[in-house]
Amino acid sequence: MERYPPNREDEQHRLHTVAGSEEQRHFDSEQVFWRQFAEAETPREFCQSWLPLQCRVLTGVRCAMVLMGEPDSGPYTPVAVWPDAKLSMHHLTAAAESALKERRGLLIESDSRPTPENPSPENYQIAYPIEISGQLHGVIVLGVEQEDKKEVQTIMRQLHWGAAWLEVLIRRSEAFNSSQVNERLQKLFDLVASVVEHDDFRKGAMALVTQMATRLECDRVSLGFKKGHHVRVDVLSHSAEFGKQTNLMRAIEAAMEEALDQGAVIAFPPQKDAEPFVTRAHAKLSRQFDSGAICTLPLEAGEKYFGGLVLERPADNPFDPATVELCESLVMLVGPILNAKRIEERWLVRKALDALIRQLKRLFGPRYLIRKLLVLLLMGLIAFFSFFTIDYRVSAPTFIEGRVQQVVAAPFDGYVKEAPVRPGDVVQAEEMLCLLDDRELKLERLKWDTERAQVQKEYHLAMAEHDRAQIRILGAKIDQAYAQLALIDDKLARTKVTATFNAVVMSGDLSQSLGAPVERGQVLFEIAPLDEYRVIVEVDERDINSVAVGQQSELVLPSMAGEAFAFIIEKITPVSIAKEGRNYFRVEGRMLESPARLRPGMEGIGKITIERRKLIWVWTHKAIDWLRMQLWKWWP
């Protein structure tokens, strides 16, 4: 058979047919990717459709992958690989890590030598980070076979524009998540507000469970609190009154105790891959009372469970993880609020008893080491003060005065001529204190002396005449003159006022009154002996009962603060004296020693030793006595 060469037109038609079928397949695959791109619901699905479309647009791309993860924290893992997910992309990881580290697009010239992992190496590697609002979400890595750098630059620009789709995806996902969060927060705040807006605990709890039943589509919401070792239902949604001893209440309370014992949120029936918990009480509640779905949440305040919340739904509306998470957030917020309201409404006696029990548990339980040490220290101090005794001493203002305090008065009416001493001066016996003017006395003496001489002459003349009557009269006048002269001589002798013993001048300053008149009996000086003192203690009336004659005492003076002087009580004046707003008794004492530095008039603080008494009594008896007086004063 003769063979003819094929017709040129037939050959061209065949080639067009083959090319058309390839284009059709290419178009069909693109349609699939575009449909997946439009219907993508997750970032992985979006990237797995976006990457093939992007690589088909770019010329010279040999392989590519997209890595995504948690913003800024990672880890970043591949979510899309092109052209085949089975291919190894290990040779692109270095470029991806560099772009993630430097947070910028990179163009890296690749090693063209083939390796077992990459038998057909590309010329360039392009890495472009996906950074949105300052957060790094992932990276796109391309392996490019182009040799012309201009074409590579074109690929980088097209990749930059194409990556905007990923930004749209991420922002749309963030907006969706934000709207869900806002919706959950709004619902959460509304439920919390239903508790806060009521001052009464029961009203707030009833509003909470009713709102939860309405908003979360629950058949029944129950709220219970621990009373002793068991939980009791206190509030039930849409029910102001209910029987607390019914089988339903017992089943709900058992479910609450089951959750509290395990310290976890229990959703029944449990979801797949959920942490296993004991749910026997929940299963019994669901079986006996047709509660298809149950969610029990323990209420916690201060690291302690105080109650539980049970939500019940129909079987066709189970609790999804988002609802359970919302309920967990709710109980974290309202739990302490409800507990505080419940505690505030208790009787005062119950509050005090609970506070005492709580403190005792902390004291004898674990932890709170500092508190235990403080209590031990306090007990040690109480024991110390209860058994330790000291000398109980009564303190009072004290001053020194001379045992004999003499007053030096003016002997007659006259005028001050000299005054050499002042208060505080030490004088010896017979030493002059002051001198009075004697001019008038001398003149008066001269007068009486002259008159005596004249009368005496007349007396002698009467003797000569033997006039007995006249003799008697003149003799009386002579005696009168002698008496006046004697009186004047005595006054002249006393114009010099002297000290009768060694003493210190306590008062009297006539140095500024020279020439001033003084009257007979007027006090000029007060003097006291230097070697004989007595101590005067002004004991307060509330301490006088403890003071007795013969008690040992000590005196401390401000001028000699480092030295104490001993004295002994000799006399207690049984008369109260009011001075400076207080009542005191004058107690006299005798100095056991009289140092030369002591002077009458010195003031200080005296302490009278009573007896040995407990230290705590010494420190607190005045306050206790005052409190007793106030109680007696106001007690009817």
What is the residue-wise DSSP string for 148-182? Answer: -HHHHHHHHHHHHHHTHHHHHHHHHHHHHHHHHHH
Same domain, 126 and 197: no
What is d(CA 494, CA 411) in angstroms, rounded to the nearest whole number?
Answer: 7
Same domain, 188 and 294: yes
CATH number of the domain bearing residue 155: 3.30.450.40
Same domain, 198 and 339: yes
**168 in a structural domain:** no
Contacts of 145 (CB under 8 A, 6+ apart): 60, 61, 62, 122, 123
Q: Return the pLDDT at 12.
A: 46
Q: Return the pLDDT at 185.
A: 62
Q: DSSP 3-state assignment of 531?
A: coil
Same domain, 88 and 212: no
Q: Return the pLDDT at 113.
A: 58
State the residue for tokens 């010239």: 109
Provide the domain count of the chain: 4
Question: Of the residues 525, 542, 564, which one is the last residue of a structural domain?
Answer: 525
Tokens of 311: 């939500």
Question: For residue 607, what pLDDT band results from cuts at 50, 70 and 90?
Answer: very high
Q: Is residue 437 within 8 Å of 520, Cβ to Cβ?
A: no
For 607: left if phi > 0, alpha if psi spans -120 to 50, otherwise beta; the answer is: beta
Q: Is residue 604 within 8 Å of 558, Cβ to Cβ?
A: yes
Q: Is residue 569 within 8 Å of 547, Cβ to Cβ?
A: yes
Q: Residues 224-262: pLDDT tens digits? A: 888 878 888 888 887 767 766 688 888 988 999 999 888
Distances (CA, A) of 273 to 17, 150, 270: 54, 53, 9
Same domain, 511 and 539: no
Q: Please choose, from the candidates 226, 236, 250, the residue with its C-alpha nearest in 3D space to the C-alpha of residue 300.
A: 226
What dihedral angle (degrees, nearest 10) is formed by the CA atoms of 314, 320, 323, 327? 80
CATH number of the domain bearing residue 594: 2.40.30.170
**509 in a structural domain:** yes
**Domain assignment of residue 462, given as a range:** 406-525
**351 in a structural domain:** no
Q: Residues 377-405: pLDDT tens digits? A: 999 988 888 888 888 999 999 988 777 77
The pTM assigned to this predicted structure is 0.44
Same domain, 335 and 187: yes
Tokens of 75: 């880890």
Helical H segments across 87-163, by residue range: 93-102, 149-162
Q: Residues 268-298: pLDDT tens digits? A: 888 777 788 888 998 898 888 888 899 999 9
Half-sphere exposure at residue 89, Cβ-oriented, CA atoms within 13 angstroms: 26
Pairing of strands 603-614, 523-529: unpaired
Q: Return the pLDDT at 34.
A: 67
Same domain, 608 and 577: yes
As beta bridge partners, residue 529 has 503
Q: Residues 561-584: pLDDT tens digits? A: 778 888 999 999 888 888 878 889
DSSP state letter for 479: H
Same domain, 218 and 312: yes
Same domain, 58 and 196: no
What is d(CA 168, CA 191) in angstroms, rounded to the nearest whole number?
Answer: 34
Q: Please choose, from the candidates 125, 126, 136, 124, the residue with its C-alpha nearest in 3D space to the C-alpha of residue 166.
A: 136
Tokens of 65: 């992958």
**333 in a structural domain:** yes
State the residue for tokens 């349609």: 31
**34 in a structural domain:** no
Q: Return the pLDDT at 183.
A: 64
Question: Of the residues 324, 345, 366, which one is the last residue of a structural domain?
Answer: 345
**230 in a structural domain:** yes
Same domain, 336 and 200: yes
Asked if pLDDT for residue 173 goes beyond 80, the answer is: no
DSSP state letter for 239: B
Q: DSSP 3-state assignment of 45?
A: helix
Question: Of the residues 345, 379, 394, which one is the last residue of a structural domain?
Answer: 345
Same domain, 322 and 410: no
Same domain, 340 and 191: yes
Question: For residue 608, what pLDDT band results from cuts at 50, 70 and 90?
Answer: very high
Q: Which helix (H) or strand (E) holds 9?
A: helix 8-39
Q: DSSP 3-state assignment of 29?
A: helix
**4 in a structural domain:** no
Q: Return the pLDDT at 587.
A: 92
What backbone torsions phi and psi does residue 249 show, to the nearest 5 degrees? -65, -40
State the residue for tokens 């066709």: 316
